[in-house]
A and B are shown apart, each in its own frame.
Chain A
C-alpha cells in the first residue's frame, strides 16, 4: 500500500469566495446578460454551474438558465479505458445565438473541454463559449484556456485534485492527493 498524502487546497469559505468572484467576473465580461446561459460538465461542473447560476440570477435580477452536459459519448480516449458511466445530459434551452459559459471543476489536459465543445455543438451554434473552472492544475495537452479561474494550483502529473461538495453529501473542499 502506498501512503497517500492529502493536502487541502480550498475550504468551504474559499470555494464560496472563488465562485462569488467568478460570478462577478462573468457579469462584468457579459454586459448583454440576456444572452448568457450556464452549462455544467458532468459530474463535477454541474453543482458549480447551479451555484454560479444562483449568484448570477441575484446580480442580474433574472433567472439564468442552467443545463448539464455529459461528455462521455464524445471522449477521444474511450477505447483506452473501461466504459465510462454516462450521466444525463439536459440542456432545456436553445444554445444557438447565446453566450454559453461551460463550467467544470478541474481543468487539466483540456480533453474534457474539447469533448464538451463538440458535444455542445450537437445542440446548436452558440454565439460564443466561455470556460469557467474552479481549479486550473496545468498540464494542458490541447490549446485550451479558461476565461474564469477560481484558483491556479501547480501540480505534478502523478497528483490528483479531488473536489467534494455538500450537494453530494460531503463538505465543500478541494484536496491535492499525492500517490
Chain B
C-alpha cells in the first residue's frame, strides 16, 4: 500500500506513487457521487474541523461536503467569528479544537507553513487547504485528476500555467504534481509575476503567450491575486487581458483538443473570454465536481493512515 501519511501538508514531499494513490482513490469516490445515495460511512464518528483563517468559500464548501459525504461531523471555523480576533494564538485555537476531540483539522492560513506548524503541535491529522503563496495540495490533485480523466494520462503532456505564478500556491502545488508525474510544464505571464527562478523547479518560463499555448495539451489559467500583491505588478487589468487573456483569437492558434482549466473564481473578460469559459474546451465546472472526489479521497486516506504500524509524516 502506498499511503501511510497522517497529514496532507504539501505536494513537494509526496512521491509520484502517493499522488497516484490519491487519484486512484478519488476515482472510486467520484463514482459514489453519481449514486442515488451519495454517502458512505468511512468517517463515521470522526470530527472534522474546517479552520479557515483566510476567507474561502469554494474550498471550504468542497471540504465540508466531502466530510459530510463520508459521514463525519463537521465544524466550520472562520477567522471573523473567532477568538483569534481577541488575540488567541493559532496554536491555542487549534489545541482548543483538539480538546473537543477533533480528528482532522483542515487549515487555510495566509502564512506559509502554518499547516506544518499545526501538524507538529497537534495529535490530530492536518490537511493544508492553502497556506499563503506556498501550497494548495488538494487543488493540484484535483487538477491532475481532471487532466488524467480528460487525457487518459499525465506523463508526456504539455501543460501551460498562465497568469500570476509568483503569488500562486496553486501554481506551486501544480508544478510539483505535474513534474513528479512526468508532464512538461510551461509557465507564462507578466515577467513581474513569473520569475525565472521557477525554472529551478523543472519548468520552462516564457513571456510569449503565443509560444506558451501553441502546442499545449492543457492550459491552466490562474486568477490575478489582487489581495496578495503588495504593489501593482502590471499596468492595468485591461493590458493583462489583451496581452495574456485567452481570447477567441488566441484559442484558434492552439491544439484543437486543448483543455482549458481554471481553479476559480474566474474573472470573465480578464484571464478568459466569457464564451470560452462556458465553451466545450473548458472543464472548469468538472474541476469543481472532481474537487469533491479528491477531497473525499484525501480525508479517507488520511483517516486510514493513523494505524500503529505506519510512519507519520
Contact = CB atoms under 8 A, between A and B. Distances in A.
A88 B293 CA distance: 14
A81 B25 contact: no
B40 A73 contact: yes
A74 to B, nearest CB: 6
Contacts of B310: 82
Interface string B31-63: 110011101111000000000000000000000
B24 A86 contact: yes
A170 interface: no
A82 B305 contact: yes
B185 to A, nearest CB: 29
A78 B28 contact: no
Label chain B's interface by main secondary structure.
loop
A74 B42 contact: yes
B35 A83 contact: no
A118 B41 contact: yes
Given A73-B40, A123-B35, A82 B309 contact: yes
Interface string B57-79: 00000000000001000000000
A84 B248 CA distance: 46
A4 interface: no
A79 interface: yes
Interface residues of A, number: 23
Interface residues of B, number: 29
B300 A74 contact: no
Contact of B300 (A73, A90, A124): A73
A83 B37 contact: no
Contacts of A139: none
A89 B301 CA distance: 18
B35 A74 contact: no
Contact of B304 (A83, A88, A89, A123): A83
- Tell me which of B27, B39, B300, B309 has the highest count of chain A C-beta atoms within 10 A of its own C-beta: B300
B304 A84 contact: yes
A68 to B, nearest CB: 11
A73 B1 contact: no
B207 interface: no
A83 B28 contact: no
B306 interface: yes
A83 to B, nearest CB: 3
A73 B42 contact: yes
A85 B304 CA distance: 10
Interface in A78-130: 78-90, 118-119, 122-124
A149 to B, nearest CB: 29
Given A73-B42, A74-B42, A122-B40, A82 B307 contact: yes
Interface in A57-89: 70, 72-75, 78-89
A90 to B, nearest CB: 8
A79 B28 CA distance: 19
13 contacts: A70-B28, A72-B42, A82-B3, A82-B309, A82-B310, A83-B304, A85-B24, A85-B25, A86-B300, A88-B31, A90-B31, A123-B36, A123-B37
Given A81-B304, A82-B4, A85-B1, 20 more contacts: A73-B28, A73-B32, A73-B300, A78-B42, A79-B307, A82-B1, A83-B1, A83-B3, A83-B4, A83-B300, A83-B303, A84-B304, A85-B24, A85-B25, A86-B29, A87-B28, A122-B36, A122-B37, A122-B39, A124-B36
Per CB-CB distance, the 10 closest pairs between chain A and chain B, nearest first, are A83-B304, A73-B40, A86-B28, A122-B37, A83-B301, A73-B42, A81-B307, A83-B3, A86-B25, A82-B1
